[in-house]
Structure 1
């Protein structure tokens, strides 16, 4: 897509990213997800995204559950609101600290993430889907480029609903709780409550729900610490300045 001055608004790479994000989002909505939207720097974008998805302006289209979270602490809001299977969408620069914290914690909440922004890109893997304008122009968030991206994301998500076969789990999606390969992977967990008795285990939240794990290897833990758990035990702690991707 271009303007009359030949400026490319959506290039081939971003087009592919939008298509992949829309398909993923449609599958999540089909399974009962809610979309939670944050934009600490540009609150109107959070409201606008939520309105687009929840308001079916095209006759016959579905109203999709979407809520903007705009209180002072979006990390705490997302933690309380998000359920396994939900999606958190952020409109923010790559250095926005609250959004970075949400993105690193979302896997422990069982949530997919979509990150829309411009300028220097987040690290690869910082979100499930990164929709980015590679421009150093500080006015990009106010020019309509972001609006165009999430309008296209909304429209493409509805296009996916018109093809029910696309909404089925892919062949490589593991649904076996006893899968040996998945069982051998470390999982991200967020501490819910530290034990009064060290032999009780630590109550943590993972993508599959709450569980107790042995934290002997990592020592004392505090609420909201991020841990990697494996085989019922916490094997390492993720520091506040460490990324999980």
Structure 2
């Protein structure tokens, strides 16, 4: 294996990222997840990834639920399709505004995220797992090296299935009240704005839909992203440029 990403097909950093992403994906699949794949600019990649996971090409490997979402509006389609515990995988450049929007909303839907791409990396925290080639060449998505990323993700996910002890979910807080979690702002996406004063807005979070007091942030519209704490919206996230 090469020492750096730039000098070989799979460098040390990318290898570690692949291993971590595969383990997280395997755990999600083991818990009943569906993988939703988007690639607004390169629909064949979305189909290819989905087929890799659905089709058990190697004898003895399980078929895993994966669907390519190739609608013109991936945000609207993913919003309808994704359920808590699922995973959204994007194949796109970091500058793709549609993918950036899906990635930032996914936590409110309760979904994990994986982003595969090339050139400039997305900003830190843009996805749970980033599998990236530094090559800025616009032809990179047409190369075997690029396709190799999701082939390896598929293979390593199945390697994790061969070791069932790895598939146990990470333990939740054991205490009745976790100081860290209880003080945490959760991402929410507004489903229905407030229809009457102090009636609260209907908001979707990773744990489901709930009514949230939006007095602090003022009027909200459907699709707005807010941070929720103790039943109230603390702040509104600005739309991305």
- Partner-residue secondary structure (3-state), 1:94: coil
Deviation of the 1:169 alpha carbon: 2.2
Cα distance in 1 for residues equivalent to 2:174 and 2:49: 31
Deviation of the 1:188 alpha carbon: 0.4
Deviation of the 1:180 alpha carbon: 2.9
Query: For the structure 1 residues 192 and 139, does the alpha-carbon distance in structure 2 shift closer, same or farther, using more than 3 Å as the test?
Result: same
Count residues in correspondence: 238
Q: State how 1:81-160 maps to structure 2 within 5 Å.
A: 81-160=81-160
Deviation of the 1:195 alpha carbon: 2.2
Q: State how 1:168-183 maps to structure 2 within 5 Å.
A: 168-171=168-171, 173-174=172-173, 178-183=177-182
TM-score (norm 2): 0.95
- Partner-residue secondary structure (3-state), 2:228: strand
- Partner-residue secondary structure (3-state), 1:210: strand
Cα distance in 1 for residues equivalent to 2:17 and 2:148: 14
Cα distance in 2 for residues equivalent to 1:87 and 1:174: 23
Deviations along 1:211-245, whole A, 9 cap, x unmatched?
01100001100000000011110010001137xxx
Runs ≥4 in structure 1, deviation > 6 angstroms?
A: none
Deviation of the 1:40 alpha carbon: 0.3
- Partner-residue secondary structure (3-state), 1:116: strand
Deviation of the 1:138 alpha carbon: 1.3
The question of whether the paired residues in 1 share the 8 Å contact of 2:117 and 2:133 is answered with yes
Structure 2 unaligned runs (5+)? Answer: none
The aligned counterpart of 1:229 is 228
The question of whether the paired residues in 1 share the 8 Å contact of 2:22 and 2:157 is answered with yes
Deviation of the 1:96 alpha carbon: 0.3
Q: Please state if 1:16 is matched with 2:16.
A: yes
Deviation of the 1:149 alpha carbon: 0.5
Cα distance in 2 for residues equivalent to 1:175 and 1:81: 32
Deviations along 1:150-197, whole A, 9 cap, x unmatched?
0000000000000000011235x4376743321110010000001211
Structure 1 unaligned runs (5+)? Answer: none
Cα distance in 2 for residues equivalent to 1:169 and 1:175: 14
Moved more, 178-187 or 215-224: 178-187
- Partner-residue secondary structure (3-state), 2:190: strand
The question of whether the paired residues in 1 share the 8 Å contact of 2:53 and 2:154 is answered with yes
- Partner-residue secondary structure (3-state), 1:127: coil
The question of whether the paired residues in 1 share the 8 Å contact of 2:36 and 2:66 is answered with yes
Cα distance in 2 for residues equivalent to 1:206 and 1:236: 15
The aligned counterpart of 1:51 is 51
